[in-house]
Structure 1
Amino acid sequence: MAPEGIIGHTVIGSGPEKVIILHGWWGDYTAYGSMLPFLDRDSFTYAFMDCRGYGKSREMTGHHSIDQIAADALALADHLGWDEFHTIGHSMGGMVVQKIMHKAVGRVKSAVAITPVPASGSSLDEDGRALFHGAATNDDNRIGILNFLTSSRLSKSWYNYVVRRSHETTSIEAFHDYMLAWTETDFVDEVKGNETPLLVLVGEYDQAITAEAMTHTLLEWFPNATFDIIQNSGHFPMLETPARLATLMENYLYKHS
């Protein structure tokens, strides 16, 4: 258990290169569980952080906001004694990665944004707002969103599993609040031109975070951004193609270590 005031986290590995890794909207760090056996623990030390209201931080009070997640991540790096580190984030966590790149210029050696929400947020039309706003209390909404994010390619059992884990690892309040955070927060003007090396990854079958969307956002804003498409994956490569995600991530980190 983390000391009082320090965000909940799990440290894996003992390598010299330090990595803060953030989960997305759908659940705590255990979403990365299928990927853990494929990580290079001799080269990297990973700190998997749980955002407030999720996992090991489920009972922590405070704001459920992009700024708060970034502040907690930087406080965690300080607590661990990491002057320099890499950072990785998925979806909502990928949005936070962009904020950390801005707030910790000179400390972040490189970053990986996995199917990331852009720093401009994710605007929703009227139907989208109804679908996402209702997801905190309606599992049919959650299933509908998951189908969209994966092009309806996966089994009923897979969708039910992700929904079940979202309930087990998050509070309803935090789940709803973070939806507002990643849809309504906009800090593009803060981050444009940031020169931190950044790898942007999208899934072939993700209908929300697409290659086209990244071309007009992150790849345009960040001069040292590179891009790859993960084949046979939707929005959740850590669950759909974990070995491939681990390989792409670590190959990039090696280059910037």
Structure 2
Amino acid sequence: MDVQRVGTGAHTVLVLHGWFGSSRSWGALLPHLDQGEFSYVFPDYRGYGDRRGETGRYSVAEAAGDVLTLVDDLGVDRFSLLGHSMGGSVMQRVYADAPDRVRALVGVSPVPASGVPFDEQSWRLFEGAADSPGNRRAIIDLTTGNRLTGTWLDAMVRHSLEHSDRDAFAAYLTAWARTDFHTEIKGGEVPIQVIAGRHDPALGAETMRATFGAWYPSLELETFPDAGHYAMDESPVALATSVERFLGRH
């Protein structure tokens, strides 16, 4: 698998994108990364980015299996994981499947290993996003606190439409929202940091404490005051600083 790589450092970090993203959705973060200390690897899930047109089950377990295949192909034994949103679920599945290989986890507004509960109205909004750019825009606006420029919202929707297959996008909603494997990671001793955005109404600090905080004894939780669900876009310098400060200790 041909993947984007940034940096040549000894500490390898697999960077896992969210539902609306792709391997290319971390662009605002890249200029701020320490390329001497770390090697960042940016894969796509099946049906996304450079893997559009690739079929599969579009499950969290499958995505995690693909990550482990990738690190084997790269010849990397131990590595850390940085996961945004849906990628937060995938990184925990990787940890559940290969705990001895994971140095540390960092979640950015990550989906808990228990999935995400929805009321009926919210589920209809998210389910409709596969076919409705308007739904996608509304979700991105909602999860960033209805406070950001429409120019950015439109660009996010455009990226999502251009970098994911419709059926894969639709299937991954069920994968991240309704996959529950938290009993497999509960009590895990892995070093883990979670970054929540103050303007994220669903996956904010309170939700992180109730899920990640209950399962990982060593959790370090940080709340970004000027971010919603997309800290890599909203607070990229602060995110790079926080992530590398944490990973540098492990």
TM-score by length of 2: 0.98
Match of 1:5 in 2: none
2 CA distance for matches of 1:27 and 1:175? 10
> Does 1:153 pair with 2:147?
yes
Which residue of the other structure, out of 68, 83, 86, is the alignment partner of 1:92? 86
Q: Deviations over 1:71-100 (max 9, x none)?
A: 001111111111111111000001111111
Q: Which runs of 4+ in 1 moved over 2 A?
A: none
SS at match of 1:20: strand
Q: CA deviation at 1:165?
A: 0.6
Are 2:106 and 1:112 aligned?
Answer: yes
Q: 2: distance between equivalents of 1:237 and 1:10? A: 20
Q: Counterpart in 2 of 1:229? A: 223
- TM-score (normalised: structure 1): 0.95
Asked if structure 2 preserves the Cα contact closer than 8 Å seen for 1:148 and 1:208, the reply is: no
Query: Does the 8 Å contact 1:115/1:235 carry over to 2?
Result: yes
Write the distance in 2 (CA, Å) between the matches of 1:131 and 1:82.
Answer: 40
Counterpart of 2:99 in 1: which secondary structure?
coil
Distance in 2 (CA, whole Å) between partners of 1:197 and 1:29 is 24
**Cα distance in 2 for residues equivalent to 1:172 and 1:59:** 10
1:159-180 deviations in whole A, cap 9, x for unaligned?
1110011011111111111111
Shift, 1:224, TM fit = 1.3
Amino acid at match of 2:136: R
CA deviation digits over 1:112-137, x for unaligned, max 9?
Answer: 01101111101111101110110011
Count of residues paired in the alignment: 250
Q: Which residue of 2 aligns with 1:75?
A: 69
Q: Are residue 244 (structure 1) and residue 209 (structure 2) matched?
A: no
Distance apart, 1:142 and its partner CA = 1.1
Counterpart of 2:179 in structure 1: which amino acid?
T
Quick check: 1:10 aligned with 2:17?
no
Quote the residue 1:175 is aligned against: 169
Cα distance between partner residues in 2 of 1:129 and 1:109: 35
The residue aligned with 1:40 is 34
| Structure 2 unaligned regions, length at least 5 | none
- Deviation of 1:237 after TM superposition, in Å, equals 0.7
Cα separation, 1, equivalents of 2:202 and 2:23? 22
SS in structure 1 of the partner of residue 80 of structure 2: strand
Displacement, 1:242? 0.9
Separation of aligned partners in 1, 2:209 and 2:161: 34
What is residue 128 of structure 1 aligned with on the other side?
Answer: 122
The alignment-based identity, stated in percent, is 42
**Alpha-carbon distance between aligned partners in 2 of 1:59 and 1:249, rounded to the nearest angstrom:** 32
Amino acid in the other structure paired with 2:236: P
Residue 198 of structure 1 corresponds to: 192
Letter in 1 for 2:102: V
Deviations, residues 144-193 of structure 1 (Å, cap 9, x unaligned): 11121011110111111100110111111111111111111110111111
